[in-house]
Amino acid sequence: MSSTYTLRQRRQQCAPNKGKAGTSGATAPGKNGLCCFEELPDWQRDNDKILAGYVRETNSMKKCFESLTYFHNETVNIYTHLIPSGTYLVMLMFFTDLFLIPQFPTTTMSDYIMINFFLLGAFLCLMCSTCFHCLKQHSEAQSNIWSKVDYMGIIVLISCSTVSLLYYGFYDYLFHFKMFTIAVVVLGSCCAAFVLNDRFNAKNWRACRAGFFVTFGFSGIVPIVVGLVKFGIAESSKRVQLRFVLLEALFYISGAVIYGFRIPETLLPGKFDFVGHSHQIFHILVVLGSLCHFRALLGSYFFMHTGISSPGLLNLKAL
């Protein structure tokens, strides 16, 4: 089944199975194992602009994992976060020890922890997302559990990103770092309490969910403004690598808007069932945003240890 099929072809494929909506049970993987939106039970119905390519309710963890081996409308969602999460895990285990510390023997334990703190947050967020998209078709109960795990992963990433950058932005002003970190912990805890509420998981809260996480992410503007006032634009830009932080914000906000308004499938229902729908674009933009943040952390780390703001991505030799 290809994403180039026309809307009419998709509807024709669904036609023989209409009347089975609301049924559950596993089916064999492959072309016949996928179903259309009209055939889904109510709890699986989320985006009515994606018409085909759904994995039926499996009631089996094994069959959920088997869905990794064939193409459906969650495949891109799964692998756009599974591969980067694995990459972040490898970097968490080896990058700081083998790459940064030999270059900068002045690295302190706090420096070491903060770099790895972000890498851990990025790994957990992307892996939680991967698990949700792989296991959500198990059953309604499992879908609800893993959706909450997914939201918690987002909170972890925002918290780890903010705290790690606060450390490098205020490395010589411990009071400011502590105060802003406490604020992040409080906000993150409030977010966690909110997302664990079953009402938050309802379909009609979709736009609210996107706006909620954007608001939490935007809380990072406060320490940036404080830094601009305290250090000036030039030094603040070097301390937190402001250009990469702004680019990170652009990716995250764009992703949230696209996700919230379901662009482009709202404009052309059925045309982006397998490739190119809003959630896939959102996933890619999240990964790009996390990479921008990692680049900002590296730049801040280099600046802390050398006083130089390097324009190169990993221009260690020049330092």
Q: What is the pLDDT of residue 195?
A: 83
Q: What is the pLDDT of residue 308?
A: 73
Q: What is the 3-state secondary structure (H, E, C) of the chain?
A: CCCCCCHHHHHHHHHHHCCCCCCCCCCCCCHHHEECHHHCCHHHCCCCCCCCCEECCCCCHHHHHHHHHCCCCCHHHHHHHHHHHHHHHHHHHHHHHHHHHHHCCCCCHHHHHHHHHHHHHHHHHHHHHHHHHHHCCCCHHHHHHHHHHHHHHHHHHHHHHHHHHHHHHCCCCHHHHHHHHHHHHHHHHHHHHHHCCHHHHCHHHHHHHHHHHHHHHHCCHHHHHHHHHHHHHHHHHHHHCHHHHHHHHHHHHHHHHHHHHCCCCCCCCCCCCCCCCHHHHHHHHHHHHHHHHHHHHHHHHHHHHHCCCCCCCCCCCCC
Q: What is the pLDDT of residue 311?
A: 52
Q: What is the pLDDT of residue 15?
A: 46
Parts of the chain belonging to CATH 1.20.1070 = 75-306
133 is in an annotated binding site: yes
293 is in an annotated binding site: no
Q: What is the pLDDT of residue 251?
A: 96
**Domain 75-306 belongs in CATH node 1.20.5:** no
Note the pTM of the prediction, 2 decimals: 0.86
What is the full per-residue pLDDT of the chain (319 aa) written as tens digits? 444 444 444 445 554 444 443 333 334 444 447 999 999 999 999 999 999 999 999 999 999 999 999 999 999 999 999 999 999 999 999 999 998 888 888 889 999 999 999 999 999 999 999 999 999 999 999 999 999 999 999 999 999 999 999 999 998 999 999 999 999 999 898 888 888 888 777 767 766 766 777 778 788 899 999 999 999 999 999 999 999 999 999 999 899 889 889 999 999 999 999 999 999 999 999 999 999 999 999 999 999 888 776 655 444 443 3
